[in-house]
Amino acid sequence: MIKVLSFRLQDKLLGIETNYVKEINRNVVYTCVPRAPKKVVGLFNMRGQVVTLFNLSYLLGCEVAHEKQNSTCIILKAAPNSPNQAGFLIERTEDVIDLADELCEEPPANVDAEKYEYIKKVARLENELLMIVDPILITGV
């Protein structure tokens, strides 16, 4: 059994295992970084710590909407002894879901592996599929 925080991004249902989540911040005002790679949206100050925000839409190959200030983001737990804080922008959070192991499987082998590079598992829910992202691959931390 795993606990997953579900969220929406480009009207897709995605999730992240709760043990990777530090907190959810709403109305985040961030600073764009000149000449940063497209996967980085910007930086923001979270109670005195600089947090790098990643562009999950871009990484997943979704149509990239223009990011807006005052967005919602998921802040990830930092690795032990690491000063690096990271997170990614989302549209909105949904529910925390308890998923039985038998509902989860690897992304299908017959799809473009590059598009699913950041997807760890796919879960079958009653009305739709939930793609669970791998935060370590997203942030590299």
Q: State how far the Cα of 100 lies from the Cα of 1, in Å rounded to an integer.
A: 4
CATH of the domain at 7: 2.40.50.180
Is pLDDT at 70 greater than 80 in this prediction? no
How many Cβ atoms are within 10 Å of 47's Cβ, its own excluded?
Answer: 5
Domain hosting 123: range is 2-139
- Cβ atoms of 8 and 14 within 8 Å: the answer is yes
Q: Which of 11, 12, 23 is CA-nearest to residue 133?
A: 12
pTM higher than the cut 0.75 = yes
pLDDT in tens, 8-54: 988 889 999 999 999 999 989 999 999 999 889 999 999 999 999 99
pLDDT in tens, 71-119: 899 999 987 887 889 999 999 999 999 999 888 888 777 666 566 678 8
Distances from the Cα of 42 to the Cα of 8, 54, 88, 120, 129, angstroms: 20, 7, 10, 25, 30
In the numeric block, the tokens 């710590």 are attached to 49
Domain count of the chain?
A: 1
